Chains A and B, each alone.
Chain A
Amino acid sequence: EAAVTQSPRNKVAVTGGKVTLSCNQTNNHNNMYWYRQDTGHGLRLIHYSYGAGSTEKGDIPDGYKASRPSQENFSLILELATPSQTSVYFCASGRTGGSSYEQYFGPGTRLTVL
């Protein structure tokens, strides 16, 4: 069964520290996405990727970097975490082309920056 997994599921970080959120998908999808979810804002796109080696900025990329070392893995990196980055982060994967464009989401990572 196709799946998107995220690690860690919960993370507490200190201000100024580096945080790496990891995502793995077994869907064999080219596209992967990172979103954050905050009350009143829904899901906002941070970074996305077309495939291994590519990363693109989404709507709110400031303060975040992304890395796509392989088809299966997509990481979100907070080099200098700030309290404003406290949120729930979702990774998703999706196909390129064809007739099916829906996204498959991971379970989310709850990040608290103190």
Chain B
Amino acid sequence: AQKVTQTQTSISVVEKTTVTMDCVYETRDSSYFLFWYKQTASGEIVFLIRQDSYKKENATVGHYSLNFQKPKSSIGLIITATQIEDSAVYFCAMREGNSGTYQRFGTGTKLQVVP
């Protein structure tokens, strides 16, 4: 069965620095999709970035990038040049490719960016 684990409950970083949030997953499927979502203080949840398991190149969108380490079943989210507005809860999720219809979410990491 698929499982997604985020062990970092909360992180605090200084503005304009780089932060990495960890996520490890378990699956028996050879094909799968990994996602990161952001939940703002207002409760809104938005999709940020995605990595397909068959792609070797790490995905990048704006100042978000991924560190995909397939042998370690790990998908880290990297935020460079952090801004105060990046303060939020970040969720990692996985969808299995061969049999999956839904995404399984991790418990989230709360990021606080301070001046």
Query: Which A residues lie at the B interface, using CB under 8 A?
Result: 31, 33, 35, 40-45, 48, 50, 56, 58-59, 88, 90, 92, 94, 96, 101-105, 107-108
Interface residues on B, range: 20 to 34
Whether B102 lies near A58 (C-beta < 8 A) is yes
Interface string of B84-115 (1 = CB under 8 A from A): 00000001000100000111111110000000
A-contacting residues, B33-81, CB 8 Å: 33, 35, 37, 43-47, 50
Whether A42 lies near B107 (C-beta < 8 A) is yes
Whether B43 lies near A50 (C-beta < 8 A) is no
Find chain A residues with CB under 8 A from B104 CB.
45, 59
Among residues of A, the one whose C-beta sits closest to the C-beta of B108 is: A42
Whether A105 lies near B44 (C-beta < 8 A) is yes
Find chain B residues with CB under 8 A from A90 CB.
45
